[in-house]
Structure 1
């Protein structure tokens, strides 16, 4: 299995048509259950020139590319900074996980500043994101019987519970599996996923269904008891940040795009 931090992805960053504020690893590698044949999911933010946003042509606010490098299939999806920040303000836990991923391929001062601002967008309503994602993945598990969507179901529910209680984004399932609410079967399921990307989940369906229902109830309780705010507090700060980075105006001694 590849160690994503051993890969030299500098050429990937250099090949992008516009500067990247950051690129991180998401997907199964971030979640802690990659398989031998897992692809590499790279996510990040690109910075369009101001002229692209004020002219008549529609800009590429989202870009996606798939290729093979070092014998590994990779895909890179990036959003323009403005779109990414708007997603952050829409209780989107997925983009927060990308922004705060510890598996960093490329970073800048602007990345660090945006990560610091992330706490100001987290609300109790992020529970809806994780609840909805879990429902979708559970339906996929029931349809296919595969292990991957079952692990995703457990992962997002536990991430949501942790976020409601701590205000911290934790997407790594092996870490979450050590918590008091985690089903006892998780270490075994994670180990099985390491052997193959697509395969049947050899589980007691009734047992895992009961675990999922219990975690939904725990998430509901955690949301009700959460001390997180009802609305983001960082809207104005993020607006100022987007304008400043777009125009290249930075505090003395720093650069938003300095690696």
Structure 2
């Protein structure tokens, strides 16, 4: 599959005349709880040749391939990515922590990772994860019977909020590491581990009676997260200059490469 993904990325570079600076896995595979039939969520950051940016026209700044049963591939132009990075965009910051990497420019990845702490906003990221947990809980975990695999799509962002509150940093990418750090030992942890084992073993997790101890943890923790976020200071607008320098240097590298 890695060969197929690499071939798709090369085809994108050729068709769109871009240079892919970084490509990685996101979603359930990167989070550590893929199912047997999970697709591949490939995300990438790319840059055009310098002349592409010298225009008064607004141009499309994403590249998206049609989704099939196995592959979901899309990417952001570097200028778009840096603007979102300045706003502490959690998905982008997660990409930079992924341990499944398909393509990378070492200078670019190191430069972005070195800037992560400077542009990390606990408030923005925690709000992102809270909304994700709240929406998935409301959409999939109400009633006596629930879509059991959706527990992970509520627990991970909820635990990410707790991590941010405690550590003031981006949470670990892997669910196992996050759960180990933030879940108390005992029955709750055991039930979560059982579900994780079932999911990663490839067992079909359909609609089942809800797991009461997990359900109670979610219902008790959501309002606690909402409460502590109300007291956090608002975000300050972060400087553009370091990202401008990175952008100009990436353009210079791309000019030399082409």
Give the shorter-chain TM-score range.
0.7 to 0.9
Q: How does 1:50-129 map to 2 (within 5 A)?
A: 50-66=50-66, 73-108=70-105, 109-125=107-123, 126-129=125-128
For residues 48 and 226 of structure 2, what CA distance do their matches in structure 1 show?
Answer: 40
| Residue 11 in structure 1 maps to residue 7 in structure 2 | yes
Q: How far has the Cα of 1:225 moved from its partner?
A: 8.9
Q: How does 1:1-259 map to 2 (within 5 A)?
A: 7-8=2-3, 9-16=5-12, 17=16, 18-66=18-66, 73-108=70-105, 109-125=107-123, 126-142=125-141, 145-166=146-167, 167-181=169-183, 183-184=188-189, 185-194=191-200, 195-196=202-203, 199-204=206-211, 206-217=212-223, 219-220=225-226, 230-231=235-236, 233=238, 235-248=240-253
Q: How far has the Cα of 1:44 moved from its partner?
A: 1.3
For residues 169 and 142 of structure 1, what CA distance do their matches in structure 2 show?
Answer: 24
* TM-score, with structure 1 as normaliser: 0.80
* TM-score, with structure 2 as normaliser: 0.80
Q: How far has the Cα of 1:34 moved from its partner?
A: 0.3
- SS of the residue corresponding to residue 131 of structure 2 reads helix
Q: 1:202 to 1:177 in 2, by over 3 A?
A: farther
For residues 208 and 87 of structure 2, what CA distance do their matches in structure 1 show?
Answer: 33
Q: How far has the Cα of 1:157 moved from its partner?
A: 1.1
Structure 1 window deviating more from structure 2 (176-185 vs 237-246): it is 176-185
- SS of the residue corresponding to residue 137 of structure 1 reads helix
- SS of the residue corresponding to residue 44 of structure 2 reads strand
Say if 1:37 and 1:197, in contact at 8 Å, map to a contact too: no
Q: How far has the Cα of 1:81 moved from its partner?
A: 0.6
More helix by proportion, 1 or 2? 2
For residues 221 and 174 of structure 2, what CA distance do their matches in structure 1 show?
Answer: 17
For residues 88 and 176 of structure 1, what CA distance do their matches in structure 2 show?
Answer: 23
Q: How far has the Cα of 1:20 moved from its partner?
A: 0.5
Q: Which runs of 5+ in 1 are unaligned?
A: none
For residues 78 and 176 of structure 1, what CA distance do their matches in structure 2 show?
Answer: 27
The C-alpha deviation readout for 1:92-127, integer Å capped at 9, x for no partner, is 211110122121111102122112111111122121
Say if 2:86 and 2:238, in contact at 8 Å, map to a contact too: no
For residues 163 and 33 of structure 2, what CA distance do their matches in structure 1 show?
Answer: 18
Q: How far has the Cα of 1:50 moved from its partner?
A: 2.9
Q: How far has the Cα of 1:56 moved from its partner?
A: 5.0
Q: How far has the Cα of 1:76 moved from its partner?
A: 1.1
